[in-house]
Chains A and B, each alone.
Chain A
Amino acid sequence: MTDADRLAEFEARIARGEKIEAGDWMPLDYRQAALKLIQMHAQSELMGCLPEREWIARAPGLRRKLALTAKVQDECGHAQLILRVAEDLGAPLHRTREAMMEDLIAGKAKYHNVFHYPVPAWADVGVIAWLVDGAAVITQGALVDCSYGPYGRILERICAEEAVHIRHGEDIILSLASGDAAHRLELQEALNRWWRPLLHFFGPPDELSHAAPLYRYGMRKQTNEELRQKFLGRAVPQIRAVGLELPDPAPHWDGTQWVYGDPGWDEWRAVINGQGPKSAERLGLRRLTWEEGRWIREAVSGGAIAA
Chain B
Amino acid sequence: MIYEVFVREAKQAAQHAGSVAASSPDAALAFAHEQFGRRGAWEEIWVAPRDQIAVMEAADLPGPAFDRSYRLMAGYKHIIQKWREIDLAGQRQREGLRP
Contacts and interface: CB of A to CB of B under 8 A. Distances in A.
Given A153-B13, A167-B79, A170-B79, A237 B70 contact: no
A210 interface: no
B30 interface: no
B88 A237 contact: yes
A301 B94 CA distance: 57
Contacts, number: 67
Contacts of B96: 253, 255
A296 interface: no
B76 A167 contact: yes
A9 to B, nearest CB: 15
A281 to B, nearest CB: 29
B91 interface: yes
Contacts of A66: 68, 70
A174 interface: yes
B83 A70 contact: no
Size bracket of the B interface: 20 to 34
Chief secondary structure at chain A's binding surface? helix
Nearest to A174: B82
Interface stretch (A43-51, A84-92, A108-116, A238-246): A238-246
Contacts of A233: 97
Interface string B63-93: 0000010111101101100110011101110
B76 A18 contact: no
Contacts of B57: none
Contacts of B51: none
Contacts of A255: 96
Interface in A224-245: 233, 236-238, 240-243
A163 B95 contact: no
B83 A241 contact: yes
Nearest to B67: A63
Nearest to B70: A67
Given A170-B76, A174-B82, A241 B88 contact: yes
Contacts of B70: 63, 66-67, 70, 168
Contacts of B11: 18-19, 149, 152
Interface of B: 10-13, 43-44, 68, 70-73, 75-76, 78-79, 82-83, 86-88, 90-92, 94-97
Given A164-B73, A240-B91, A241-B87, 18 more contacts: A18-B10, A19-B10, A66-B68, A66-B70, A70-B68, A153-B12, A168-B76, A170-B82, A171-B76, A171-B78, A171-B79, A174-B79, A236-B95, A237-B95, A242-B86, A243-B86, A253-B97, A255-B96
Interface of A: 18-19, 21, 63, 66-67, 70, 149, 152-153, 163-164, 167-168, 170-171, 174, 177, 233, 236-238, 240-243, 253, 255
